[in-house]
Amino acid sequence: MPARPAACRARVAAVRPLTADILEVDLAMLEPPALPFEAGQWVSVPFGAKLVRAYSIASTPRTASEITLCADVAPGGPGSRWFRGLAAGAEVEFKGPFGGFVLGRDEPRRRLFVAEEIGIVPIRSILLALDETGALRAATLVYWARDAGWLVYDTDFRALARRRPEFAYHPVVPDGARENATPAALVDRLVGDVGGLVAYVAGGGETIATVREVLMARGLERKAVKWEKFW
């Protein structure tokens, strides 16, 4: 049974810039002392009566006493300014966990994950949790970014692919020689038989729609495509 969202308080343990526009922050839980969550879920931070921002959890449920959030702060809005302003020792408040973009340990189907830039965050949590629990089984990741600098968790997935032959990793960066180097185009080339497949897609709305169209054209049921929209 998923944990019910709760009001939370935590202390900033560390802040790391992954790029100029992508930051990670470790939050040591104070209240409650640990945050039960499922890999793929997110927390919400309030910035007024009707303004909140959602941040996916990049870490795994194994470290529930300290969670890691990761955000693209390039948009420059209130959430970006808040995230940029975090410093070690500061206390923060949020609610969570939320979201149904989760994969059960006993999911029997082959797993296809498709991430566009910052959409990798919940997928990273899911994949690392599956690896930790020995439940990875057959899984493929397509990870698209505008350039190599935006593949912020590339090292994690290359290491996972070396250790786990059942995991296939396909990073994608557009270049002049590959005009169709989009998430949907690569999925179109990679996926043949969709029997026994479940797909998890995270990123922009256009990518979610085009990847879903490709998979459904192959015969995959609509409900077998799970998605998390970031913009």
42 within domain boundaries: yes
Domain count, the chain: 2
For residue 140, what pLDDT is reported? 97
Q: Give the domain CATH number at 92.
A: 2.40.30.10
Who has greater pLDDT, 175 or 128?
A: 128
Answer yes or no: do 136 and 221 share one domain.
Answer: yes
**For residue 1, pLDDT beyond 70:** no
One domain for residues 188 and 158? yes
Backbone φ and ψ of 210, nearest 5°: -75, -35
Residues 31-40 have a mean pLDDT of 97
DSSP the chain: -PPPPEEEEEEEEEEEESSSSEEEEEEEEEESSS----TT-EEEEESSTT-EEEEEB-S-GGGTTEEEEEEE-TT-SHHHHHHHT--TT-EEEEEEEE------TT--SEEEEEEEGGGHHHHHHHHHHHHHHT---SEEEEEE-SSGGG-TTHHHHHHHHHH-TTEEEEEE--BTTBTT-SHHHHHHHH----TTEEEEEEE-HHHHHHHHHHHHHTT--GGGEEEEE--
> Is 78 in the same domain as 168?
no
The stretch 42-50 carries a mean pLDDT of 90
Q: What is the pLDDT of residues 133-151, one digit of tens each?
A: 999 989 999 999 999 999 9
Is 105 contained in some domain?
Answer: no
Using the 3D structure, point to which of 98, 126, 149 is the last residue of a domain.
Answer: 98
Within a domain: 1: no
For the cut 90, the answer to whether the pLDDT of residue 196 exceeds it is yes
Q: Are residues 128 and 89 in the same domain?
A: no
Any bridge partners for residue 27, and if so which? Answer: 12, 67
**Residues 181, 176: Cα–Cα separation, whole Å:** 9
What's the rounded Cα separation, in Å, for the pair 84 and 169? 31
- Tell me which of 98, 128, 150 is where a domain ends: 98
Q: Is residue 143 part of a domain?
A: yes
- On whether both 42 and 128 belong to a single domain, the answer is no
Produce one character per residue of 86-113: b if its CB has 16 or more CB atoms within 10 Å, e if not: beeeeebebebbebebbbeeeeeebbbb
Same domain, 51 and 20: yes
CATH number, position 132: 3.40.50.80
Compute the Cα dihedral for 179, 185, 191, 197 and give only its sign: positive
Q: Please indicate, yes or no, whether residues 92 and 130 belong to a single structural domain of this protein.
A: no
Q: Considering the domain boundaries, does residue 103 fall inside one? A: no
Report residue 155 CA to chain centroid gap: 15
Which residues have CB under 8 Å from 221's CB, separation 6+? none
Query: Domain ends where: 98, 118, 147?
Result: 98
19 falls within a domain = yes
Q: Are residues 77 and 175 in the same domain?
A: no
Q: Whole domain around residue 223: which residue ranges?
A: 110-229
* Residue 12 included in any domain: yes
Peptide linkage before 46 cis (omega within 30 of 0): no
Verify that 14 and 88 share a domain, yes or no.
yes
Same domain as 127, residue 66: no
117 lies in the same domain as 225: yes
Single out the residue of 144, 158, 135, 156 nearest to residue 113, CA to CA: 144
Indicate whether this model's pTM tops 0.85.
yes
Residue 187: per-residue pLDDT: 96
Task: Based on the fold, state whether residues 43 and 86 are members of the same structural domain.
Answer: yes
Kindly report the average pLDDT of the chain as a whole number: 94
